[in-house]
């Protein structure tokens, strides 16, 4: 099962782990009964985890209930904004992303992250060049539209590549001359790639996705949010369908 997806030109997202409060070793038929597929058994988390956690309030957890019953409770919880049970599922992601995208993501203070440090390692020659260069939107202060003439887009891409390559060359040269990496990295641009581990509970992950997979979010941020949703869905399909249906409002109820 592939748990890594490419994003942008040099970026990616990997689903490293997805865990709930219950340790599981599934047989194929057991996993299918919980809404998954047999080849996805290596993560502990299940669609039923939030409902089972919610039943702790009445001392009714860990009883034998079918998948439909648990999903009915999950729907009730999410629809009525009883969201703490969804915090009992935790997501670990590995991401490589441009610095300017990363700095938008760290606004989500519920996440825990460990980022590669340009103080300790020489960062690779990886910077983001947009495939489509956006024009400034006339009707809002932020955002972009795809209306720039191809000639301007090509010139922007070429100039950006040239500037990034020249800056990276200086970055390496000054490291070789003995300048501390934490200062040499000042030559690098906001479109240079960084790399981190990201940990977040499912409730707040859904809130993160809701904001970043939105038409008002920056296009590059949307690309990462869409990929994260795609990575999560095969493992907890019922919960991600509820997210789409209720939180995003794309369902019928």
Catalytic residues: 212
The set of residues, in sequence order, having a beta carbon less than 8 Å from that of 96 and lying 6+ positions away, is: 10, 11, 12, 126, 193, 194, 195
For 130, which DSSP code? Answer: -
- Segments of 10-166 assigned E as strands: 11-19, 90-98, 112-115, 135-136, 144-145
At residue 110's C-alpha, the angle toward residues 106 and 115, to 5°, is: 45
Instruction: Pick the closest to residue 47 from 249, 240, 245, 252 (CA basis).
Output: 240
C-alpha span between 151 and 145 (Å, rounded): 16
Structure tokens at 143: 């955002």
Sort 89 into a burial class: Cβ within 10 Å, 0-12 / 13-18 / 19+: buried
Alpha-carbon gap, residue 200 to 19, rounded angstroms = 11
CA distances 132 to 8, 157, 238, Å, are: 11, 9, 35
């Amino acid at each position: 099962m592939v748990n890594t997806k490419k994003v942008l030109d040099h970026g990616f997202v990997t689903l490293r782990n997805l865990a709930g409060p219950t340790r599981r070793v599934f047989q194929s038929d057991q996993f299918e009964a919980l809404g998954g597929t047999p080849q996805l058994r290596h993560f502990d988390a299940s669609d039923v985890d939030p409902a089972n956690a919610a039943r702790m309030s009445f001392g009714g957890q860990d009883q034998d209930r079918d998948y439909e019953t648990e999903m009915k409770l999950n729907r009730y919880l999410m629809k009525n904004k009883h969201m703490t049970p969804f915090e009992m599922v935790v997501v670990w992601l590995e991401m490589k992303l441009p610095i300017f995208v990363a700095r938008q993501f760290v606004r989500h203070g519920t996440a825990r992250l460990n980022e590669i440090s340009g103080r300790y390692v020489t960062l690779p020659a990886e910077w983001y060049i947009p495939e489509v260069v956006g024009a400034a939107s006339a009707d809002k202060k932020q955002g972009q539209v795809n209306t720039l003439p191809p000639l301007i887009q090509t010139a922007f891409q070429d100039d950006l590549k040239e500037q990034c390559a020249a800056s990276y060359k200086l970055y390496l040269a000054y490291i070789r001359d003995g300048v501390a990496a934490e200062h040499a990295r000042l030559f690098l641009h906001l479109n240079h790639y960084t790399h981190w581990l990201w940990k977040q509970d499912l409730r707040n992950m859904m809130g993160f996705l809701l904001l970043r997979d939105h038409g008002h979010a920056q296009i590059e941020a949307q690309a990462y949010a869409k990929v994260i949703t795609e990575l999560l869905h095969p493992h907890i399909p019922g919960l991600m369908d509820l997210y789409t249906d209720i939180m995003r409002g794309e369902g019928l109820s």
